[in-house]
Chain A
Amino acid sequence: MSTSMEASTPAAHQGFADATMIDHESDLLQISLGPHHPSTHGVFRMDVVLDGERVVKLKPVFGYLHRNHEKIAESTTYLASIPYTDRLDYMCSLSNNWAYALSVEKLAGLQVPERAEYIRVIAAELTRLQNHASTIGFLMQEMGASGTPLMYAFREREKILDLFEALTGSRMMCNYMRFGGCRVDLPAGWLDQARKTVDEYPRFLDEFESLLASNEILLARTQGVGVLPPKLAIQGGVTGPILRASGVNYDIRKVDRYGIYERFDFKVPLGEHGDVYDRYMIRMLEMRESLKILDQALHQITPGPIIDPKAKIRGFRPKPGEAYGRIESPKGELGFYLISDGTPNPYRYRVRPPSLINLTVLEDMCLGSSLADTVVIFGTIDIVLGEVDR
């Protein structure tokens, strides 16, 4: 297995990005699917060597969005890092908040009341819905269905973002979880609005499937493309829908049973072939499972306190120690590793970004496919540059 993420030394960088049109010796075309590209989900570069239309070598180059998140966290308080975690995986801010809050709660030994756990599950599953909708919409866009499935997906996503705005005040940068619970309680009428959105969502999924699921062109573009064998996936540390599409049964909601996930009845869809079609269908099926969880949670939630009374907003000093908290974010296993030394600022703050770790296997999946496939395979890994670069 070859990984293609060599350190970008100036020499290696120079040789690869040399602007010769065609290598006269072997007729290979070096191309840079550069940072400005409509399909690279952000500022991301892939240096690709093509033999005709086949990919011979592929090197991902990232770091264009590095914002010193982990270093900043070392110089601010634990509370002040929460808004920064929103901006990691900027599509799924509530999941990021939860992962961070989980790690700090492990570190400081805080208990979360039941209502807050329900709200967290509802928020996380809604986040999963809107993230998967956006992913499959963009995947179709990259395959050339000039924006139609994308617009349908975003039409549904808007309803979920409206829910977030009513709850947290902001559509995407939610800053909602606190250590020991949630920031504010659900406003009046929110549960009804949420139930309505959840009830209407399956209609969109059915429409989407009738639009594309048996479309011959789609099948031809996605089946058998970008196969990821399960062994390679496990070796590469890949998690999330990609791992499950390759057939490995690993969902942290079932493994760790964090929060109150064990109270809900849901299944984990698994793929067999590990190609692009499987990853696309797994996300569709995961959306349906999320709807099941949401249905149950919205009916089971009861009034109560929403934050641990022992939790302090200001002057929060956890005892010295270390903790690693992880959740099943829509992109994979999102984990936060914290080392505390008793001061209000963490000593070390490390994010385990699922998008970056999943990129490890990009080259292996793309070798031998054509350039058009590379873009599609890349779309199914579903990266967000905010997370990759932090």
Chain B
Amino acid sequence: MTALAYNSLHHASPQAADQIFLIVQHWIVSHAPAGLQSLLAILLSVVAIVGGFGLLFAITTILERKGLGRIQNRYGPNRVGFFGSLQPIADAIKSLTKEDIVPQTADKLVHLLAPILLVLAAFSVYAVLPVGRNMVLVNLDAGVLFFFAIGSVTEVAVFMAGWSSRNKYSLLGAMRAIAQMISYEVPLILSSLTVIMATGSLSTVTIVEKQAGFSRILPHWFLFTPWGFAGFVLFMIAATAESNRSPFDLPEGESEIIAGYYIEYSGFKFALFFLGEYLGMFAISGLAITLFLGGWNAPLPFLTWVPSYLWFFAKLLTLIVAFIWVRGTLPRLRMDQLMNFAWKFMLPMALLNLITAAVWHFMPSGPVRWLVSIVLVVVPYTLLGRNQMHKSHLEKRVYRFAE
């Protein structure tokens, strides 16, 4: 690694740009005593992750507000800095200087721990996301399993917040949140199971490496297979539900129970909840990119000179933009409709997707494989979709007029 690094530096090749962070890390670590070198390396990576995704959080808040603004025919924030770019700093100052109000009858310890636990869990899952070539904090053999396990801790944090606030609205919000998050874990994991089956490994690094390469101009990402496309869509819907984003943001249903489980939080703790929610969104998008969108792989053969981490963040930004776009358009689902959708539509689709993935894997490659897989995806989708609409007697109506 050292020789490659120094060679790249001297030749200023694309590899240098690609591995620049590793080179810098290696250089810093080489100044430390031998016993502490691995600890220092890990610490540097952790700082880089926290700093990098924290910065992304700040950028996302301003992107979301301006994006929603433009969708709604108005400017977003544009007073602080050029085009509002310094707005996150203003928001940070505000949240740090606001009074921290804790209800008198609240359970103070749990009330304090809930946002901290949320942020801890949200940050921990970044350990297994490969952000670039050779740039993963820990290359676990069971990376995806680790991700889902730690990611579920956020649900505990949400319930802690709702319960400890001693407020009927937050209790309602917490109950809704738990029900929603638990029901959507199942389609989430089932849709990622297809990728695990296809690659035969739970390690995120292996999954990304299996998606390298191109056939003519089409990359080998799992998105460009029928089962991968269906899996990706299911995964993203479940991801939206897991991060409590619109249209699944009933737990924080702003217009009914005002803020749901974080109604009694103010000041910095509120900002931590925000941070935790957004970090969760980035993490699960990151996993979607790793599983379906080829991780840090370039989309076209002649673009491989662009550094790998730039591709990862470009894809991440695309997914964030998609989240914002969906938020600006759709109303939210009611609780029972949400659960109905999870158990009666997404779960059967995810299970049938497993069969499609298996069929794809064992058939010889060629147009027949494509045709069969597409049929295996589209037919259940149409049938289940029609079932969903008819069950609730949803129809297009025609109105009569009287004179």
On chain B, the residues within 8 Å of A95 by CB distance are none
Asked if B369 CB lies within 8 Å of chain A CBs, one says: no
B402 touches A371 (CB 8 A): no
Q: How far is the CA of A218 from the CA of B399 in the complex (A)?
A: 18
On chain B, the residues within 8 Å of A238 by CB distance are none
B332 touches A143 (CB 8 A): yes
Q: How far is the CA of A146 from the CA of B394 in the complex (A)?
A: 23
Known A-B contacts A39-B255, A144-B254, A269-B401; the reply to A220 vs B392 at CB < 8 A is yes
A155 touches B73 (CB 8 A): yes
Asked if B91 CB lies within 8 Å of chain A CBs, one says: no
On chain B, the residues within 8 Å of A211 by CB distance are 329
A277 touches B397 (CB 8 A): yes
Known A-B contacts A370-B334, A373-B334; the reply to A144 vs B246 at CB < 8 A is yes
Which of B168, B328, B329, B334 has the most A CB atoms < 10 Å from its CB? B334
B332 touches A217 (CB 8 A): yes
On chain B, the residues within 8 Å of A375 by CB distance are 255-256
Asked if A345 CB lies within 8 Å of chain B CBs, one says: no
A270 touches B73 (CB 8 A): no
Chain B residues within 8 Å of chain A by Cβ, number: 43
Which of B74, B254, B331, B389 has the most A CB atoms < 10 Å from its CB? B331
A220 touches B329 (CB 8 A): no
Contact with B along A29-44 (1 / 0, CB 8 A): 1110000011100000
Q: How far is the CA of A216 from the CA of B330 in the complex (A)?
A: 10
Q: How far is the CA of A172 from the CA of B400 in the complex (A)?
A: 33
Asked if A224 CB lies within 8 Å of chain B CBs, one says: yes
B249 touches A223 (CB 8 A): no
Q: Which of B254, B255, B399 contacts A269 (CB 8 A)?
A: B399
Known A-B contacts A38-B255, A146-B327, A267-B402; the reply to A151 vs B73 at CB < 8 A is yes
A38 touches B72 (CB 8 A): no
Contact with B along A209-222 (1 / 0, CB 8 A): 00110111111110
The smallest beta-carbon distance between B335 and chain A, in angstroms, is: 6
A270 touches B401 (CB 8 A): yes
The smallest beta-carbon distance between A272 and chain B, in angstroms, is: 8
B392 touches A146 (CB 8 A): no
On chain A, the residues within 8 Å of B331 by CB distance are 140, 143-145, 212, 215, 217-218, 221
Q: Which of B72, B332, B401 contacts A148 (CB 8 A)?
A: B72
Known A-B contacts A151-B73, A219-B394, A269-B399; the reply to A29 vs B253 at CB < 8 A is no
The smallest beta-carbon distance between B6 and chain A, in angstroms, is: 52
Q: Which of B247, B256, B394 contacts A371 (CB 8 A)?
A: B256
Asked if B291 CB lies within 8 Å of chain A CBs, one says: no
B330 touches A21 (CB 8 A): no
Asked if A166 CB lies within 8 Å of chain B CBs, one says: no
Contact with A along B153-173 (1 / 0, CB 8 A): 000000000000010110110
On chain A, the residues within 8 Å of B401 by CB distance are 267-270, 285
Question: CB-nearest residue of chain B relative to A285?
Answer: B399
The smallest beta-carbon distance between B95 and chain A, in angstroms, is: 21
Known A-B contacts A147-B72, A217-B330; the reply to A141 vs B335 at CB < 8 A is no
Which of A212, A267, A372 has the most B CB atoms < 10 Å from its CB? A372
Q: Which of B256, B258, B327, B330 contacts A215 (CB 8 A)?
A: B330
A145 touches B250 (CB 8 A): no
Asked if A161 CB lies within 8 Å of chain B CBs, one says: no
On chain A, the residues within 8 Å of B168 by CB distance are 21, 29-31
A223 touches B392 (CB 8 A): yes
Which residues between 246 and 269 of chain B lie within 8 Å of chain A, taking CB atoms? 246-247, 249-250, 253-258
A151 touches B330 (CB 8 A): no
Further contacts, 4 of them, CB under 8 A, given A144-B330, A373-B334: A144-B246, A214-B396, A217-B247, A269-B399
Interface residues of A (CB under 8 A from B): 21, 29-31, 37-39, 53, 140-148, 150-152, 155, 211-212, 214-221, 223-224, 249, 254, 267-272, 277-278, 281-282, 285, 370-373, 375
The 8 A-B pairs at the shortest CB distance, nearest first, are namely: A144-B332, A151-B72, A143-B331, A267-B401, A145-B331, A249-B402, A219-B394, A39-B255
